[in-house]
């Protein structure tokens, strides 16, 4: 049962990831008629929301885009920062969506931020504790329970991440539409890109829930 569950999770994750990659490759070829780069899109969205203390910077790598609330930076991968296509516009606006959440004290983002230190510690030790807990299940079952509690914290983090990501995409698409930043075709591409990006977080959350239940079943099964 456990191997089947893991297999389904891995397959779903691969399928969504592959679909997301193909979508971004497709919309990376859809050049913007307004000629704006991802960095310029981000700067304008920040300005339109009255946010003056957030910097837009380029970060090395691919799919490394993120907003850092600690130093208030919108970090865009080199391709997104420089390129002028629908995929870059979608990613840039999405990351600024997180900056807007931060500026407006969006409660789900605040909850996630508070969990970061806890999840960081939990992620460092839980795999070893879970492995040791399974090996020592018959002699020291409490160790597995500790591992399950730590894993539950990371699962909670994945669940809270969902509204944060979906809301950032909603803010991005709403701004792009209201400000007439994109053509109808470009906006459809941006929306499709962000929809599939959000699904990766959904799959990750479901995978975390499924894995957590798997460990719980192992722990409960010791009594049978």
CB 161 within 8 A of CB 205: yes
Six token digits for residue 116: 């970061």
- pLDDT band for 138, please (50, 70, 90 cuts): confident
Six token digits for residue 23: 């979508």
Q: Give the HSE-up count for residue 143: Cα atoms under 13 Å, Cβ half-sphere.
A: 15
Q: Structure pTM?
A: 0.89
pLDDT of residue 221: 82
95 belongs to the catalytic site? yes
| pLDDT tens profile 52-104 | 999 999 999 888 999 999 899 999 999 999 999 999 999 999 999 999 999 99
DSSP string, 62-117: SS--EEETTTTEEEEEHHHHH--BHHHHHHHHHHHHHHHHHHTT-HHHHHHHHHHH
Six token digits for residue 102: 């931060």
Which helix (H) or strand (E) covers residue 222, if one does? none
| pLDDT tens profile 78-91 | 999 999 999 999 99
**CA 45/CA 195 separation, integer angstroms:** 20
Report how far apart, in Å, the C-alpha atoms of 194 and of each of 51, 86, 150, 174, 190 are.
Answer: 23, 11, 30, 12, 6
CB 46 within 8 A of CB 171: no
CB 8 within 8 A of CB 206: no
CB 172 within 8 A of CB 90: yes
| Mean of all residue pLDDT scores within the chain | 92
**CA 113/CA 107 separation, integer angstroms:** 10
Catalytic pick from 95, 110, 177, 186? Answer: 95
The residue-averaged pLDDT of 25-29 equals 92
CA dihedral 176, 83, 18, 194 (to 10 degrees): -10
- In total, how many domains does the chain have? 1
Q: Backbone phi, then psi, for 76, in 5-degree steps?
A: -110, 135
Segments forming the whole domain that contains residue 148: 2-221
**CA 151/CA 208 separation, integer angstroms:** 8
């Amino acid at each position: 049962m456990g191997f089947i569950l893991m297999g389904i999770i891995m397959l779903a994750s691969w399928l969504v990831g592959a679909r997301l990659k193909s979508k971004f490759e497709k919309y990376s070829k859809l050049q913007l008629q307004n000629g704006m780069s991802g960095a310029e899109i981000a700067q304008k969205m920040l300005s339109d929301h009255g946010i003056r203390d957030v910097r837009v910077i380029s970060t090395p790598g691919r799919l490394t885009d993120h907003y850092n609330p600690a130093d208030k930076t919108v970090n865009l991968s080199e391709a997104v920062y420089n390129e002028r296509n629908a995929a870059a516009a979608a990613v840039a606006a999405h990351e600024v969506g997180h900056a807007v959440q931060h500026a407006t004290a969006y409660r789900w983002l605040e909850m996630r931020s508070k969990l970061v230190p806890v999840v960081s510690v939990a992620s460092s030790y839980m795999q070893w504790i879970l492995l040791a807990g399974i090996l020592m299940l018959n002699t020291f079952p409490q160790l597995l329970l500790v591992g399950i509690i730590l894993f539950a914290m990371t699962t909670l983090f994945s669940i809270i991440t969902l509204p944060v990501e979906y809301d950032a995409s909603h803010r991005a698409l709403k701004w792009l539409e209201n400000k007439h930043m994109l053509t109808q075709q470009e906006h459809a591409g941006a929306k499709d890109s962000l929809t599939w990006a959000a699904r990766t977080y959904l799959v990750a959350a479901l995978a975390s829930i499924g894995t957590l239940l798997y460990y719980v079943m192992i722990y409960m099964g010791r009594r049978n």
